[in-house]
Structures are given as C-alpha cells and as structure tokens.
Structure 1
Amino acid sequence: MLVNADFHIHSCFSMASSKDMLIKNIAPKSKLKGLGILGTGDGLHPKWLDILEESTTYLGDGIYSTNNMDFVITTEIEGKNKIHHLIIIPNIDVARELSQKLPSKNKNVDGRPKTQLNGVEILELVRQYDCLIGPAHAFTPWTGMYKSFDSIYDCYEKKVDFVELGLSADTNMADIVGELKDFTFLSNSDAHSPWPHRLGREFNQMELKDISFSSIKYAIKHSNIKANYGLVPNLGKYHMTACTKCFKLVEPEIARKNKMKCECGGRIKKGVDYRISEISDFNEAKHPDFRPPYVHLMPLAELISTVYDKGVTTKTVQNIWQNLIDKFGNEINVLIDVDLNDIIKIDLKIGEAIKSFRNNTIDIVPGGGGKYGEIKFDSLIKEEKKPHVVTLDNF
C-alpha cells in the first residue's frame, strides 16, 4: 500500500512549539492534509508519552491510532556540537527505557533533549533498541550534521538508516554528494504547530506491506520510498548565504572575506546551497537507480495566501482552503492529483497557481539567513521585489 508519511514534528513540550501541538489537534489536521502516518515527535519526553498513551489506541507493532490517524514514535535529539539526530522508535516502552538511558539534563523539560553524546555514541545507544536513526535536516547551518562534518561517516562512523534533507535541500542537491548515493532520503516537515501549512509541508510517499513499525523499517532500509514531496529548496529559510539580521543575500566569498559579518552589523550564515557545493563530488546530480522523484509543492494555505495577498491564517484564506478540502478530500489531493480544470471551476486564480507549481513555471525570491523565500507567480511578479545580492561590486 502507498502511504504518505511525515516522521518529524514536535509536541507542545518542545521549545518554540505551539501549545496546541496535542494529539487531539494534530490527528484531524493530519487527515485533512492527506497523511497516513505521522511521527509523534518528542518521543523521549515522559509527559508527552503519557499523553500519547491516553490519547491513542495501541494497534500493535509500534502503531498508535486515533481519529483514523496512525502514529509512530519519533524524536529529535540534539547531540554534541548541537547536531540534531532524528530517531524512529519501535514503541512507547522502548521510548521510556531509552529516555532513562540517555544522559541529558533537560529531557524532562524540553521535547528535544540535549546530550553531550556524539553521533557514534547516539547511534550505538539507539541501535540497542532497534531504532532507526539519521541526521535531521542534514545540511542546515545551525544544527545540521554537515555544518560540522565533511562526511557523514566522520559523524557516525557506520552507515545510518536515512538522511533527512531539510526544507532548504532536495534530491537534486543532495545527489551531487557522492557518499550519499547509498542512503535513503527522507523529507519531513519539522512542524511546530498543527496548522496544515506546517504539518506535512514535506512528506514521503512509501510502499508499505502494512501499517507497522516493521514495515516502516523495511521500507526505509530497502529504499521503498516512491516519492519525496517538499518545498522548492529556494523557499527554505537557510537555502542561500545571508545575514541573519537584515536577511540580505551575500555571495559566499564576500561573507568569508568579511569574517561572516554583514555591513549592517549582523551575522552572516552559510547557506545550504553553498555548503553542499563545498562537499560535492559532481557538478550535477547522479541519482542511484533506487532514488525516487522529488516533487516540489507548497502548502495550499500559503499558496492561497500568496495569490490573494492575505495572511495565511486569515478568514479569507482559510475559507478558500476549507472549500477546496470539502470538495476534494484533502490538501495533498488538491496539490497533486485533482484535475486542474476541476480546481479552476472553483477558483481560477488558485487553479492557475497550482498549474504553475506543477509545470515548474514559478518565480522565487530565495530564502536565507532565517527568512523563508517567497513565491511570485507569473501574474504577481514585481521587479522591485527581486532579491538584492551583495557581491564584490556592491558590498
């Protein structure tokens, strides 16, 4: 069976997460998104595990269900050098034991526990419990594995189960790094709120024998990912090298020359695009035979917001979003599968915007320095909103 899965979210116990990140809110929103399996996130936090047990029914083999939505236990761990690791855990009993074993001072406070264990030590610990592990948002400049290491094996020494690409990268970017040719790529949302424009903004379409931890493990280890879906990398907030204060895009050589300091006084952060070029082995992607397509999409509410120039949570945007969901079942159907003519009958502008995404005829103001990129559809492109990039000539 084909299932849409998002393995990386956070609960209400994670720093900077919405207090509404509770199962009673997450489950129905995930169904409206079109997801079939969702990672619980924060799977080492004792109180979150209590809520999971109280809010769901255990179906066996690692699957917890409520409101026709299935969950698997997952967590993100911040290890040595602030590197983040994504863990998929067999069940709650294992999660509780693993939580006790993990040396961490904040695991009962923050949903994302911090530890001074390095990648090798974290891998050895979680493998004792049959968990799956890989670097979370591997290329991001603050907490990605490649911000500290030039090779994934320098971090873990052994082959991990997957590499999570993050919002600022896709398959075409990652597959210019030769050592990643043997790894399964995952695309997950890292959602901190239950809005459908956060949940499942990136997800994986997987071939599963059934809904179970065992099947998820088999699919990841045997590369049974049929498609990765996610943002155009330019939209990611760390895609380009940019200032974290004024968000001005800066050519990497200028950033280095000025010791990563912007003329405004802010700090410049190396972009994912440039970091990948530093560790690349090829000029263009060399996909292994098992690599599935990477399909670019944008959360429907954000797309509507862009078209109508309204806030994503405004009544106007939410009413249009709800109308489309009521008509076509879920958001993923609208973005990917529904006939464009049927969407145009309901809303011409939205139909044309989705068509632009499907045809790859969109214009993007790239993101960087912590600011998301912006979509400019053909009819909305304004020259004055093109990004200003600092170069040798204008710094």
Structure 2
Amino acid sequence: MSIVDKTNANDSLQPLFADLHVHIGRSGDGHPIKISGSRDLTFRSIAEEASDRKGISLIGIIDAHSPPVQEDILRCLDTGEMEEVAGGGIRYRDTVIVLGAEMEIREEGGGPFHLLGYLPNLAAMQEWTEWMRPRMKNVTLSSQRIRVTARELQEELLARGGLLVPAHVFTPHRGLLGCSADRLADRLDPEGIAAIELGLSSNTDMASRISETDRYPFLTNSDAHSTGMIGRECNEIAVAEPSFEELSRALRNEDGRRIVANYGLHPQLGKYHTNVADRIDRLADRGTAPESTARPLYREQVPLNFFPGIGPVLKEKLHDEVGTEMDILHRVPRHALEAAAGEKIAELIWRAREGKLAFIPGSGGKYGRLAQS
C-alpha cells in the first residue's frame, strides 16, 4: 500500500475499521507484558489477526512502551515484514499499527484510573519509555502505576506530539469517571483530551447525558486480552490512509476526516453494565443530549464469540467462505451467511445487525449473554 499524497487526500478518503485498544500478553521471547492477557497475544499475532481475520485496518497496541515489545517491533522492521509509515505507525499487510501505552494514575480523593497515550512513531515511544522508567516500578509491564499527576503526564505526552484518551472512562474498574472523579476537568486539562473511550458497558446515548463530554469524540475499542476479542468494539473512520496523522485529524474532524460510526459491544453484554448505568445516572446533568450535539451513528455489535453455536470450526469456515469478522457482522448479504453457517446462525447475525436480539445483562465482572428465545 503506497502512502497517499496529502495534497490530494480530500479526494480519496476511505472508510476503514479502527480498534485502538489492544493488549500484548507476551513478547516474542516470552516476557510477560499484560499478565491477564493471552500468551498468544504478541505484537506480530495482533497484526496478523487484525489484517487477515478481523478486517481492522488501524490497530492501536497500547503496550508498545515495553522494551521487550520494542525489540519485537525492531525485529519485524529489520526483516522487512513490517515498515514504518510516513504519517506515523507501522504497516503489516492491510493493517497499520498505532503505538500506544496504557498508564495507571491515582490521585488524592479518588481511585486509580487508566489513561491511553498514543505516539506517532517508534522513536517517540522509546523516548516516552525512558521518561516513564524512573517514575514507574516496572516499565516492562502493561498498565502500571506511574508516580505523576494526570496533568503532568498529559503535558509531557502532548509535548511529544501524542494523543491522550481516558480509557473505559465510566467503568468502576480503573475508569476516570467510574471511580476517581465526577468530572474530567478534576483530573485533566480539558483542552488536552483527544477523545473519550466509552468502555464495553456504555454507549453514545448513555455518555451524552453528561454535558462535559459534548466537546469530545467518542471511541469504542475492544480492550482485547486475546486475539479473538480484537474488534469486539471498533470505530469506522474516514481517512486518506491508515496512519497516526490521519487518526489525529479524524479526531479533530479536520478536512473531512471523521469518525463515521462507533461499533460498540451491546452495553448489556459488558461486564459492568449495571454498575456503569447507575454511575452515569448519578453524573448525568440532563436526560438526553440536545439535537445540536450531533454524534456519529452508534451501532450495537455482537461479536462472533457471543453467538451460541459459533465455535472454532464454524468460525474458521465463515472466515474461509465469507470473509473477515467485520465483513461477516456488517457487510455480507444474508444468503452468503446462510450458505456458510446455516439458516439459524444467519438469522441470529441478521437480527443482531437490526438490533432485534435480547440479552441478559452483565454485571460485577461477568459478561452478559444472548437470551435464549
């Protein structure tokens, strides 16, 4: 894939899927990175899954600060299997990887919360690692506590050309508004927030009841701890090409770049839906967002892993005969689904597209599930 000439980019915007929160379980030589992540979740396997099976064109790996992961990246670049993109990021086949880090902060008067930081290239991420190293107990691991305030971290990240996003912002487990503060401005400079990540248990309608969020784009990301969960939430964005620079422009709604749609795990399938709904009720300063607060379409998504009857064998058959998971969930016609998976499974996928499935809500760290009809 060639780099798009930016002077003609407005004439060649393309919609693509982006999942900007994926963890690494182990480095290529076995170093633990995300303790709760799958051992098979490596830098290379994420790129391969996103490109070949999921149909995700822009993937954010948020453990790229780890030195063993950076060694994996360098090996992939040295072999020519991957290459750095002029606009920022690393390309593998049909996917570009945006390099990020997830960091934990705790400030007086609230619980610990996570922030996502994205940087334009490997050199900037390596510099970020060295800034974090003396302020963190173990810079090798994912999502570690850093001994600075959120505003200090924000200032340092932005000075390096980075993007700052509060992670899974409403969840009771490490969400800024879920367990640390009642307002984003209590912890961060509002001017330096690139977007808000909704998390797996809320959606646009729920978050829009809080007027403070009006100025920020919403992101729906998977927070994947295994390759199978990549893309369970994702964003459709219109850009000239997949890159850090184009992502940044899309978050600013610049020159036609934009978020086209948010594809979110149905909120009732999230682990903390009932907790999050209660928390938003307490924080909300209005019943619904005003019509002037225009938002991209929010589409509730049910990943293949949640459908009863779709096991590894059938999933592989669907990939072979139909396409990537994003194609299966959102694009291919019903007759193609029926030919590969049978009428019953095709009906479930079709009803999910139309928002006609019923769910048993998740709560207390347990995922929700489809209700048996």
Pairwise TM-score range, normalised by the shorter structure = 0.7 to 0.9
Structure 1 stretches lacking a partner, 5+ long: 241-270, 382-395
2:72 matched to 1:41? no
* Per-residue deviation, 1:212: 2.2
- Which amino acid counterpart does residue 46 of structure 1 have in structure 2? P
* Distance in 2, Cα, partners of 1:107 & 1:184: 32
- Which amino acid counterpart does residue 341 of structure 1 have in structure 2? H
Identify the residue that residue 188 of structure 1 maps to in structure 2. Answer: 221
Aligned residues: 336
Counterpart secondary structure, 2:21 = coil
> Contact 1:37–1:72 (CA<8 Å) still a contact in 2?
yes
TM-score, normalization by structure 2: 0.86
Identify the residue that residue 264 of structure 1 maps to in structure 2. Answer: none
* Distance in 2, Cα, partners of 1:290 & 1:201: 24
Q: 1:99 to 1:189 in 2, by over 3 A?
A: same
Out of 12, 18, 31, which is 1:5 matched to? 18
Select between 167-176 and 76-85 the one with higher mean Cα deviation.
76-85
Identify the residue that residue 136 of structure 1 maps to in structure 2. Answer: 167
* Distance in 1, Cα, partners of 2:157 & 2:291: 29
* Per-residue deviation, 1:288: 4.7
Identify the residue that residue 276 of structure 1 maps to in structure 2. Answer: 280
Out of 49, 66, 77, which is 2:103 matched to? 77
Identify the residue that residue 118 of structure 2 maps to in structure 1. Answer: 88
Identify the residue that residue 343 of structure 2 maps to in structure 1. Answer: 348
* Per-residue deviation, 1:225: 0.4
User: In angstroms, what is the RMSD of aligned CA positions?
Assistant: 1.6
Out of 3, 15, 28, which is 2:35 matched to? 15
* Distance in 1, Cα, partners of 2:64 & 2:149: 19
Deviation by residue 1:283-326 (Cα, 9 ceiling, x = unmatched): 234465541011111111321xx2x2xxx7xxxx1121122112
Counterpart secondary structure, 1:156 = coil
1:1-395 equivalence runs, <5 A:
1-11=14-24, 12=26, 13-31=33-51, 32-55=53-76, 56-80=82-106, 81-102=111-132, 103-146=134-177, 147-159=179-191, 160-195=193-228, 198-222=229-253, 224-240=258-274, 271-286=275-290, 288-303=292-307, 306=308, 308=309, 317-346=311-340, 347-376=342-371, 380-381=372-373
- Which amino acid counterpart does residue 163 of structure 1 have in structure 2? I
* Distance in 2, Cα, partners of 1:214 & 1:105: 29
* Distance in 2, Cα, partners of 1:53 & 1:286: 48
* Distance in 2, Cα, partners of 1:116 & 1:239: 30
* Distance in 2, Cα, partners of 1:109 & 1:115: 12
- Which amino acid counterpart does residue 363 of structure 1 have in structure 2? A
> Contact 2:306–2:369 (CA<8 Å) still a contact in 1?
no
Q: 1:135 to 1:287 in 2, by over 3 A?
A: farther
> Contact 1:42–1:75 (CA<8 Å) still a contact in 2?
yes
* Per-residue deviation, 1:130: 0.9
* Distance in 2, Cα, partners of 1:108 & 1:120: 20
* Distance in 2, Cα, partners of 1:275 & 1:125: 31
TM-score, normalization by structure 1: 0.81
* Distance in 2, Cα, partners of 1:91 & 1:66: 15
* Distance in 2, Cα, partners of 1:299 & 1:216: 24
- Which amino acid counterpart does residue 191 of structure 1 have in structure 2? A
> Contact 2:98–2:244 (CA<8 Å) still a contact in 1?
yes
Q: 1:68 to 1:360 in 2, by over 3 A?
A: closer
Taking only the aligned residue pairs, the percentage that are identical comes to: 30
